[in-house]
Structure 1
Amino acid sequence: MRDILTVTLNPALDLATSVDSVVSGVKLRCGPPRTDPGGGGINVSRAIKLLGGSSRCLVALSGRNGETLADLLRGAGIDLITHPAPGETRSSLSVRDEHRGEQYRFMLPGPPWSPFDVIEAERAIVEAAQPGGLVVISGTMPPGVLPDLIPDLCGKVRAKGGEVVVDTSGPALHLVARGKGPAPDFLRMNQEEADDLAGRRLIDLGDSADFAQSLVRRGVAKVVIVARGPEGSVLATDGSRFHSRAADVPVRSKVGAGDTFVGSFTLAVAQGLPLDEALRRGVAGASAAVMTEGTALCRREDVERLMEVCPTVAI
């Protein structure tokens, strides 16, 4: 299997709990809390581990939250590479309103980075990347990190013979989508992000597939994936387009569903499986993730069972 390196520069110590109902002005008595290591790349590595695979997880950490987060990752059996970060590692809170069945997510910004911090982190990532391996850059960038870090990393990782999977948002995604500079090999986005890039609502699966394929043909990435929530995801290359429908399952928490998709998809690619099968496994992983509480991600037995109801078809 190919080496997988995940990168998380803005991790979070995730706290998840629940209340009977969210109302203002009163003390809300919460249920038992669950604490998990969080952040895009971290969740990708956690999902890969839960699915029986392995990855190396490079994480920028600092302060007491960083120490706690590192202990949680090691306790979960994650192969951790720590990189010093400025300030204190951020935390986040998700609260489920049991009465309404709704979830509230509060995300702190994380400490700002200096240009020197960025240079040192980029050097560490490139050194850790393996020839022939996959590097997953997932999640938000810390304050102070310019969007051009991702194209720079794509160029340097590919120069070492690796491939890059990118799942990001905001200015970094917009820069990648403009096709300026070295491109990732795989680019994933959700429907809202795709609509934003397209400047209009992508109304159906075919519309999303057309848009994804247009990005490929503009040189934005070799493979583009657009997630459409309950409809599943579409994947496009220059010459093919596939769709895998999400399973109809009870939704307990959407936290980490996209990261679980990336983990399951990347693991399949690392195992040498074809893209249509990797898409099916990614969608089954995301479907399984929404079935679990808070930040718990997926259960392997759920993913394996749901693969039977997430077929991939050419569109």
Structure 2
Amino acid sequence: MRPILTLTLNPALDLATETGALLPGRKLRCTAPRLDPGGGGVNVSRAIARLGRASTAMIALGGATGDTIAALLAAEGIEIAVLPLPGLTRQSVAVTARDTGAQYRLVMPGPDWPAEATVRLFGELSNRIGSDHVVVVSGSLPPGLPGATLVQLAGLCHERDAEMFLDTSGPALSEALRGTDGPPFDLLRTDGEEAGQLAGRDFEDPGDLASFGRHLIDTGRARQVVMALGARGTVGVTATEAFFCHAPEVELVSAVGAGDSLLGAVALALAQGQTFRTSVRAGTAAAAAAVTTPATQLCDGALARRLVGEVEVSDLA
């Protein structure tokens, strides 16, 4: 198996709790909070661990919340490489209202990124990335770090003959995909809503979404594209194939962590030498397994492996 390094530049200490109802102007009594280390790359590493394998999680951390995240990951047995930052690593809060079952997610922006941290980041990565690495860059970017940095990271991975998988959103994703100077991302993971924001229109049909994925490949921005359509399933596109993995039917408890579980399973399968189609099928099963767990608990490995057999795959024209 090829080594996997995940990179999280804007991690979060995730707090999940419940209350009877969300009412304005009231003091709301909540259940004891559950604390989890969070952020895209962090959760990809946690998902890989739940699937029975290991990765290294490189994380930018600062302050007491950063120390808490490091301790929580150590307790889960995940190897970490810390990029120290000034300030306080952000928190995010998920509150479930028991009267309706609705979940409200409050996401903080994170501390400002100092310019000197970029130099340290590329220095650390240069020391760690080998020619056989899979580097998964996942999650939002902190304030002050431009999306063009993602293109530069792809360039570094290309120089080292490593592969870079990208999963981000918003302005960072738009800026990264506008760049034309760097190499294509080896894999781009997004969802239908994010793809719609990039294209300026909604995608309801897997075939239409696959056509947009082909556009990203044809314009040199990605070599492989994985796009989720929520409970419906996942589109996979390369230069030679396009297909749709139909998600198995499961009971929805919380959608938090589904995308990270999907990417973790895809990255793991590809690192193990599986085909792209087999890998996306495994990712679809892991995402389905993740939504059956509460809060930020990600996928259950045994359930994810069982659900693979229930993922039907159909080719897209």
TM-score (norm 2): 0.97
Distance in 1, Cα, partners of 2:172 & 2:180: 11
Where does residue 188 of structure 1 map in the other structure?
189
Deviation at 1:26, TM superposition (A): 1.4
Identity of aligned residues (%): 42
Which residue identity lines up with residue 180 of structure 2 in the other structure? Answer: K
1:93 offset after TM fit, Å? 0.6
Q: Partners of 1:43 and 1:281 in 2: how far apart?
A: 17
> Could you tell me how far apart the structure 2 residues matched to 1:140 and 1:10 are?
6
| Corresponding residue SS for 2:17 | strand
In 2, are the aligned partners of 1:222 and 1:237 still within 8 Å (CA)?
Answer: yes
Which residue does the alignment assign to 2:228? 227
1:279-294 alignment, distance < 5 Å: 279-294=280-295
Give a deviation string over 1:63-119, Cα, whole Å, max 9, x none: 111111100001100011111012111111101112212110111111101221222
| 1:100-249 map, 5 Å | 100-182=100-182, 183-249=184-250
Q: In terms of mean alpha carbon deviation, does 170-179 or 263-272 score higher?
A: 170-179
Cα distance in structure 2, aligned partners of 1:117 and 1:243: 40
Q: Distance in 1 between matches of 2:231 and 2:243?
A: 16
Moved over 4 A (4+): none
1:249 shift after superposition: 1.3
Query: Counterparts of 1:34 and 1:111 in 2: how far apart (Å)?
Result: 23
Contact 2:151 2:179 in 1 (8 A): no
How far apart in 1 are the matches of 2:40 and 2:260?
Answer: 6
Paired AA for residue 40 in structure 1: G
Question: In structure 1, how many angstroms separate the alpha carbons of the residues matched to 2:86 and 2:314?
Answer: 46
Letter in 2 for 1:300: G
Residue 3 of structure 2 is aligned to residue 8 of structure 1: no
5+ residue gaps, structure 1, are none
Counterpart of 1:249 in structure 2: which amino acid? V
CA deviations on 1:195-217 (whole Å, 9 max, x unpaired) are: 01111112301100111011111
- SS of the residue 1:306 aligns to: helix
- Residue 66 of structure 1 corresponds to 66
Pairing of 1:82-93 with structure 2 (within 5 A): 82-93=82-93
Contact 1:86 1:117 in 2 (8 A): no
Partner of 1:23: 23
Aligned residues: 315
Q: Write the letter of the residue equivalent to 1:313.
A: S
> Over aligned residue pairs, what C-alpha RMSD do you find?
1.1
**Which segments of 5 or more consecutive residues in structure 2 lack a partner in the other structure?**
none
Aligned partner letter, 1:185: D
Which whole-Å CA distance do the structure 2 matches of 1:265 and 1:86 have between them?
Answer: 33
Task: Indicate if the aligned counterparts of 1:279 and 1:312 stay in contact, CA closer than 8 A.
Answer: no
Residue identity matched to 1:95? V
Partner of 1:238, secondary structure, is coil
